[in-house]
Chains A and B, each alone.
Chain A
Amino acid sequence: DAKTTQPNSMESNEEEPVHLPCNHSTISGTDYIHWYRQLPSQGPEYVIHGLTSNVNNRMASLAIAEDRKSSTLILHRATLRDAAVYYCTTGANSKLTFGKGITLSVRP
């Protein structure tokens, strides 16, 4: 399984864009990049996933480096409800493992 590294935490102001980085230098050619987030006392929630091309959905955008060794989750306008732990992981669902993730704090 490809290992991912993320900063421990990040702070953002409400209504400003947030860029959450993730390194996955050992990713294999067929592994998807997944992002999930988790609020306290809840299970992880799917955010977005991609393989090679940048991806957009209603929650966020995913920018994938050309060499696929890193990616960035982009929240275009952070809200207080976006405060959570964000996990970057790679591989098939059957092998998803979440590390410590990055704790995002959003200041009003």
Chain B
Amino acid sequence: GAGVSQSPRYKVAKRGRDVALRCDSISGHVTLYWYRQTLGQGSEVLTYSQSDAQRDKSGRPSGRFSAERPERSVSTLKIQRTEQGDSAVYLCASSPNRDSEAFFGQGTRLTVV
């Protein structure tokens, strides 16, 4: 069956511009997560939501990050005023509930120039 899909796979953005990254999660999964992964530093969770159409603003590392969930299986991670330090792979994952295994997408590699 279809897994978690992310688009685009690669994104180049000019510093200061806003970007939006899309995630299509697995149908029926309740919990959805966004992670940021940098080379040699591991991954950190940016935001997660556990309900339909929730706008979550966990905002790590700052309020520039937010996620919207217009449909149960679709989420958009928005990064405002991108900085060069935002260059990373952004991973989306979903799970049936918060204690089940998480299924990850292939990620979007964002490069801020």
Chain A residues proximal to chain B, CB less than 8 Å:
32, 34, 36, 41-46, 49, 87, 92-101
Contact = CB atoms under 8 A, between A and B. Distances in A.
The number of chain B residues touching the other chain, given as a range, is: 20 to 34
A96 B40 contact: no
Contacts of B95: 93
A94 B41 CA distance: 19
Interface stretch (B70-78, B79-87, B97-105): B97-105
Contacts of A100: 40-42
B106 A46 contact: no
Nearest to B109: A41
A32 B99 contact: yes
Contacts of B102: 36, 44, 46, 93, 96
Nearest to B95: A93
10 contacts: A42-B107, A43-B4, A43-B106, A46-B101, A93-B98, A96-B45, A97-B45, A99-B42, A100-B41, A101-B42
A42 B31 CA distance: 21
Contacts of B37: 98
A43 B41 contact: no
Contact of B104 (A34, A45, A95, A97): A45
